[in-house]
A and B are shown apart, each in its own frame.
Chain A
Amino acid sequence: MKVLTNSQILEEASTWFVELSEGHLTEKVREQFSDWLRASPEHVRAYLQISALWEDAPLLGKGAEDAEALIARTRAAGNVVRVGKDRQPLSARSRRFVTPLRSALAASLVLVAIGITFWLQQRGVYETAIGEQRSLTLADGSTIELNAQSRVRVHFTAAERSIDLLEGQVLFHVTHDTARPFVVHSGAASVRAVGTQFDVDRRSGETVVTVVEGRVAVLPYPLLQPASASAVDSSAPSIFAPDFPLTGPGGARGLLLTAGEQVTLSAQATSRPTRTDVAAAIAWTQRKLVFASSPLTQVADEYNRYHQKRIVIRDRRLASFLVSGVFSATDSRAFVAFLRAQPNLTVHETDTEIEISGAPPK
Chain B
Amino acid sequence: MSTETQRTFLTDLEKTHGRRLHRFISSRVRIGADVPDLVQEVFLRLLRVERHEAIRNPQAYLYTVASHVLSQHTLRSAATDEVLRFSNLLAADLRGSLDSDPAAEVETEQLFEELARDLERHAPRAYATLALHRYHGLELKEIAPRLGVSYNMVKRYLAQALTFCQQRLAERE
Tell whether A and B belong to one assembly.
yes
Contacts of A84 in B (CB 8 A): 123, 126, 160, 164
B33 near A47 with CB under 8 A, answer no
Contacts of B108 in A (CB 8 A): 56, 59
Which of B58, B158, B167, B169 has its CB near the most chain A CB atoms (within 10 A)? B58
Q: Mark B145-173, 1 if CB is under 8 A from A, else 0.
A: 01111101101111110111111011101
In the complex, whether B5 has a CB less than 8 A from a CB of chain A is: no
A71 near B163 with CB under 8 A, answer no
A17 near B47 with CB under 8 A, answer no
In the complex, whether B98 has a CB less than 8 A from a CB of chain A is: no
Smallest CB gap from B35: residue in A = A3
Q: CA–CA, A339 to B117, complex, Å?
A: 39
In the complex, whether B9 has a CB less than 8 A from a CB of chain A is: no
B112 near A60 with CB under 8 A, answer yes
B159 near A11 with CB under 8 A, answer yes
A44 near B58 with CB under 8 A, answer no
Tell me the smallest distance from the CB of B114 to a CB of chain A, in Å. Answer: 10
Q: CA–CA, A47 to B165, complex, Å?
A: 14
In the complex, whether B91 has a CB less than 8 A from a CB of chain A is: no
A48 near B29 with CB under 8 A, answer yes
Contacts of B126 in A (CB 8 A): 83-84
Contacts of B158 in A (CB 8 A): 14, 18
Tell me the smallest distance from the CB of A328 to a CB of chain B, in Å. Answer: 11
Q: CA–CA, A212 to B147, complex, Å?
A: 56
B128 near A70 with CB under 8 A, answer yes
In the complex, whether A30 has a CB less than 8 A from a CB of chain B is: yes
Decide yes or no: A3 and B36 within 8 Å by CB, A10-B166, A67-B132, A86-B156 being known contacts.
yes
Q: Mark B28-51, 1 if CB is under 8 A from A, else 0.
A: 011011011001101100110001
Q: CA–CA, A248 to B141, complex, Å?
A: 61
B59 near A15 with CB under 8 A, answer no
In the complex, whether A158 has a CB less than 8 A from a CB of chain B is: no
Tell me the smallest distance from the CB of A58 to a CB of chain B, in Å. Answer: 5
Contacts of A64 in B (CB 8 A): 116, 131, 135
**Interface-located stretch among B18-26, B71-79, B80-88:** B18-26
Contacts of B35 in A (CB 8 A): 3
A30 near B58 with CB under 8 A, answer yes
A-B pair number, CB within 8 angstroms: 201
Q: Mark A21-64, 1 if CB is under 8 A from B, else 0.
A: 01000010011011001101100111111111111111111111
Q: CA–CA, A17 to B30, complex, Å?
A: 18
Which of B46, B112, B132, B147 has its CB near the most chain A CB atoms (within 10 A)? B112
A44 near B125 with CB under 8 A, answer no
Contacts of A237 in B (CB 8 A): none
Q: Which of B36, B55, B66, B150 contacts A48 (CB 8 A)?
A: B66
Smallest CB gap from A30: residue in B = B55
Q: Which of A37, A49, A78 contacts B166 (CB 8 A)?
A: A49
Q: Which of A2, A45, A83 contacts B173 (CB 8 A)?
A: A2
In the complex, whether B94 has a CB less than 8 A from a CB of chain A is: no
In the complex, whether B138 has a CB less than 8 A from a CB of chain A is: yes
Q: Mark B83-102, 1 if CB is under 8 A from A, else 0.
A: 00000000000000000000
Contacts of B162 in A (CB 8 A): 14, 17-18, 50, 53-54, 57
In the complex, whether B10 has a CB less than 8 A from a CB of chain A is: no
Tell me the smallest distance from the CB of A148 to a CB of chain B, in Å. Answer: 15
Q: CA–CA, A106 to B47, complex, Å?
A: 39
Decide yes or no: A41 and B43 within 8 Å by CB, A3-B36, A33-B58 being known contacts.
yes
A34 near B123 with CB under 8 A, answer no
Q: Which of A44, A62, A82 contacts B43 (CB 8 A)?
A: A44
Q: Which residues of B contact A (CB under 8 A)?
A: 19, 22-23, 25-27, 29-30, 32-33, 35-36, 39-40, 42-43, 46-47, 51, 54-59, 62, 66, 108-109, 112-113, 115-116, 119, 123-128, 130-132, 134-136, 138, 140, 146-150, 152-153, 155-160, 162-167, 169-171, 173
Task: Return the 7 tightest CB-CB contacts between A and B, nearest first.
Answer: A61-B135, A52-B26, A61-B131, A59-B112, A14-B159, A41-B43, A14-B162
Further pairs besides A3-B35, A57-B130: 16, Cβ < 8 Å: A14-B160, A18-B155, A18-B158, A20-B59, A33-B59, A40-B43, A52-B22, A52-B29, A59-B108, A60-B130, A60-B135, A62-B135, A83-B123, A86-B160, A90-B148, A103-B150
